[in-house]
Amino acid sequence: MTPDSAGSVAAAALFRRTYGAEPTVIASAPGRVNLIGEHTDYNGGEVLPIAIGARTRVAARANGSRQVRCVSASAADAGEFSLDDPQPSGKWWDYAAGLARQMSRQGAALVGADIAVWSDVPAGAGLASSASLEIAVGLALARIAEVEFGRRDLALAARHAEEEYVGVAVGIMDQFASALAVGGHALRIWCDTGETAQIPFGGSVLIFDTGVGRALRSGAFNARRAEVESALALLRRRHPALPSLAGATPEEVAAAELPAPLDRRARHVVTETRRVARVADALGRGEPVPGEELLASHESLRRDYECSAPELDWFVERAMRAPGVRGARLTGAGWGGCAIAVGDAAALESAAPEIAADYRVSFRRTPGWRITAASDGATVASLTVRP
Ligand code: GLA
């Protein structure tokens, strides 16, 4: 079995109940939380996520057809799609269908399968639940079809599927993190080249889910993408060879005198990618996460990228008043979702319930929280099925 066997057992049980047979493959892929480097991935900058303990598991078996049948423990609807002509349905399995289509386009000869999904990555919280679903499904489908499909190609296929098929213009961070992260390490990704490095990270991270939903998020996200594209186009008038917005220097951005708010959006991107490098270098030297870089990141996201929310700002301010907390910031796309705090594990353990209680009083909303280390990456295992 895979390292997270409790979840895998649950996925296998759902598979048996639904399809009346034993699964032959179990795949498992983690959600992620980003230590630093927000809204830099689609600007060609750097990011530094870790895999979290929450994961999506997929139990699967070939079904001898060209259909992929899908059931999930966390969704009322079950459905299916054709490998030959997958059509978007507006349902959760579009992630699987879009991915299968993209894997086929990239040359994978997939075969029909039944799949059962079990996940404890909360949906809509900004912890990459969809990326973890895509990566787990992709690993399972590749294993069942006995095709070699590299992790990096899978991550790229998943990102492409999410943009083309599901309609959100995300960057590569979530899918890369879910596919390539390794336990005990943060994954440094240079998003312009797709190059990655494993950076030892033994610390603890408090993930605080504000419970503020994503209603605004995809529209606001796509609006930011349009703004940074305009900023890059203007900068290229002065610097035609500029490879990406993150490739500009803070001095070049300041000198360009971009119109507001493009000046602020660009300033966030070029300063944030430099913060990632400083944090990764500190971790590489065996130092703890420099908390001031996280705080500077949050301030830049709040003021320059304007993707924070009162609940996220409240958390950062409140967490920093707790003894032993070294740094805090919003994580993921923002406009709600999750924030993180870093510090000693014991300090985070004692601070979290107090912060949650104060949050309930201030916002009349119950937050979610968990403390995570850099957890295991994605796995896939073939099961020995009794005849
Ligand atoms: C979402 C996207 C990522 C990244 C972050 C912001 O999580 O899926 O690709 O752009 O927002 O850093």
pLDDT over 70 percentage in the chain: 97
Cβ of 41 less than 6 Å from ligand 1: yes
Q: Residue whose CA is closest, atom 11 of ligand 1?
A: 333
Can you name the residues that pair with 380 across neighbouring β-strands? 27
Q: Residue whose CA is closest, atom 2 of ligand 1?
A: 170
Tell how far the Cα of 385 is from the centroid of ligand 1, in angstroms: 39
Instruction: Report the alpha-carbon angle 258-259-264, nearest 5.
Output: 70
Tell which atom from ligand 1 comes closest to the C-alpha of 40. Answer: 12
Tell how far the Cα of 148 is from the centroid of ligand 1, in angstroms: 28
- Cβ pair 87, 93 in contact under 8 A: no
pLDDT for the residue numbered 219: 83
Instruction: Please return the burial class of 125, using the count of CB atoms within 10 Å of its CB with bins 0-12, 13-18 and 19+.
Output: buried
**Confidence class for position 86, pLDDT limits 50, 70, 90:** confident
Tell which atom from ligand 1 comes closest to the C-alpha of 333. Answer: 11
Instruction: Please return the burial class of 9, using the count of CB atoms within 10 Å of its CB with bins 0-12, 13-18 and 19+.
Output: middle
Rounded-to-integer distance, Cα 117 and Cα 130, Å: 12
pLDDT for the residue numbered 163: 86
pLDDT for the residue numbered 386: 59
Can you name the residues that pair with 114 across neighbouring β-strands? 61, 69
**Mean pLDDT score, 42-51:** 98
pLDDT for the residue numbered 167: 78
Cβ of 173 less than 6 Å from ligand 1: yes
* pTM > 0.75: yes
pLDDT for the residue numbered 101: 96
Structural tokens at position 275: 């913060």
Those residues whose C-beta lies under 8 Å from the C-beta of residue 6, and which sit 6 or more positions away, are none
Cβ of 171 less than 6 Å from ligand 1: yes
- Cβ pair 147, 100 in contact under 8 A: no
Cβ of 151 less than 6 Å from ligand 1: no
Q: State the first-to-last Cα distance of the chain, in angstroms, to the nearest integer.
A: 18
pLDDT for the residue numbered 87: 87
Total residue length of the chain: 387
**174: annotated active-site residue:** yes
pLDDT surpassing 80 at residue 217:
no
Number of C-beta neighbours around residue 48 at 10 A: 25
Number of C-beta neighbours around residue 205 at 10 A: 23
Q: Of 174, 192, 209, 304, which one is the catalytic site residue?
A: 174
Per-residue pLDDT reduced to its tens digit, 12-36? 999 999 999 999 999 999 999 999 9
pLDDT surpassing 70 at residue 105:
yes
**Confidence class for position 166, pLDDT limits 50, 70, 90:** confident
Rounded-to-integer distance, Cα 188 and Cα 167, Å: 26
Structural tokens at position 254: 């300041």
pLDDT surpassing 60 at residue 387:
no
Mean pLDDT, rounded, of the chain: 95
pLDDT surpassing 90 at residue 318:
yes
Tell how far the Cα of 84 is from the centroid of ligand 1, in angstroms: 30
Q: Using CA of residue 152, residue 87, residue 129, residue 70, what is the dihedral sign?
A: negative
DSSP helix/strand/coil, 51: strand
Residue corresponding to tokens 């937050």: 367
Tell how far the Cα of 356 is from the centroid of ligand 1, in angstroms: 25
pLDDT surpassing 60 at residue 216:
no
**Mean pLDDT score, 324-341:** 95
- Cβ pair 141, 103 in contact under 8 A: yes
Cβ of 270 less than 6 Å from ligand 1: no
Tell how far the Cα of 272 is from the centroid of ligand 1, in angstroms: 14
Per-residue pLDDT reduced to its tens digit, 345-366? 999 999 999 999 999 999 999 9
